[in-house]
Amino acid sequence: MSLPRILVVSLGGTITMTGGACGGIVPTLTAGHLVAGVPRLASVAELETITLFGLPGASLRLPNLVELARLLRDKLSNGIDGAVVVQGTDTIEDTAFVLDRLVGATGPVVVTGAMRGPQSEGADGPANLLAAVTVAADKRLRGMGVVVVLNDEIHAARWVQKCHTSLTSAFESPGTGRVGIVAEGLVELLMAPHREVPLIKAGSGSCDVALVSLGLGEDGRMLSTLAALGYAGAVIEGMGAGHVPAAAVEPISALIRCMPVVLSTRVPAGRVFARTYGFAGSEMDLIARGAIPCGHLGASKARLLLTLLLSAGAGDDEVRAAFARP
């Protein structure tokens, strides 16, 4: 029986980093180096490797991910059975979410990385890469959308979050839990992600969306500067179920008259409410003024979704419909 053909694309990140002249670790290894370091991969899949970038996760930009999405769509429609994207863990959840919207469920796409560099004791990169290729080679993942695999756990792109700065178990899916695990070289699926996610066609334009967090005692005075700075939209990260200080209500109202404003929350799990609280600065107050509640999306993913929509030329109705979906 022939092995599945799996593409491994490296964008950089800790998994590729070795000691540099500055004393810290920096991206140096290619996708080919990573694959060569895990001989067992040869028994799991026939691999093709591409080193697309050599960047830390924090330095990736949306145009990089649009380029990656084009590559994946092309490869998945021309004989590749699945793909693994290797990158820095700082933005794995962002990359997975964007690819889920741009590539969709055409074939298994897995995003992975490492919490420890390859020269560290207990480096987790080789095990993560093996688990990721194992998942990408499993036909049952077709149709489930993009997933993230680290620490032998499988997480849906829609829900996954990095929840610790150093532990190898840093990734979780607050509020839902993992999709499955990899154990003894086998993929064990625990649940299937619910998908009502239409693809977004990446636009050629460039739209910047601001993310502003408003906490205790803040008045939102910086919001009046966003339009002049060139922002086309904004995400407000509030508190609780989508609440901001009363002093920030008028600046938010003025901003809504200038651009789409999405309301999110700093709470890791649970959705923004729509019809419970009625005080000044509550979710009902802000929605009545035109704010768009983001449902279960965290603020960073809400910013990415709004950016993709506006870059594709979406109007107000399309934006509201996209955030209203489960």
* Model confidence at 164: pLDDT above 90: yes
- Are 185 and 228 found together in one domain? no
- Whole-number CA gyration radius for the chain: 20
Q: What is the mean pLDDT of residues 249-255?
A: 98
* Euclidean distance between the first and the last CA atom of the chain, given in angstroms as a whole number: 40
- Asked, for residue 58, whether it belongs to a domain, the answer is yes
What pLDDT does residue 131 have?
A: 98
Give the domain range for residue 279: 209-324
- Are 157 and 256 found together in one domain? no
Q: What is the mean pLDDT of residues 188-213?
A: 83
Q: Read off the pLDDT band of 197 (50, 70, 90).
A: low
How do residues 277-288 score in pLDDT, each as one tens digit? 999 999 999 999
* Model confidence at 316: pLDDT above 90: yes
Q: How many structural domains compose the chain? A: 2
- Are 77 and 142 found together in one domain? yes
221 torsion bin: left (phi>0), alpha (psi -120 to 50), beta (else): alpha
Using alpha carbons only, give the angle 72, 309, 239 rounded to the nearest 5 degrees: 110
Q: Read off the pLDDT band of 325 (50, 70, 90).
A: confident
Which strands, in side-by-side order, build the sheet including 261-265? 209-213, 233-238, 261-265, 292-293
Whether pTM exceeds 0.85: yes
- Asked, for residue 195, whether it belongs to a domain, the answer is no
How do residues 20-40 score in pLDDT, each as one tens digit? 888 899 999 999 999 999 999
- Asked, for residue 250, whether it belongs to a domain, the answer is yes
What pLDDT does residue 143 have?
A: 87
* Model confidence at 192: pLDDT above 90: no
- Are 133 and 278 found together in one domain? no
- Are 21 and 154 found together in one domain? yes
Q: Which two tokens stand for residue 3?
A: 């092995």
* Model confidence at 89: pLDDT above 80: yes
Question: Average pLDDT of the chain?
Answer: 95
Q: Read off the pLDDT band of 53 (50, 70, 90).
A: very high
DSSP secondary structure of 31-43: HHHHHHT-GGGGG
- Are 216 and 274 found together in one domain? yes
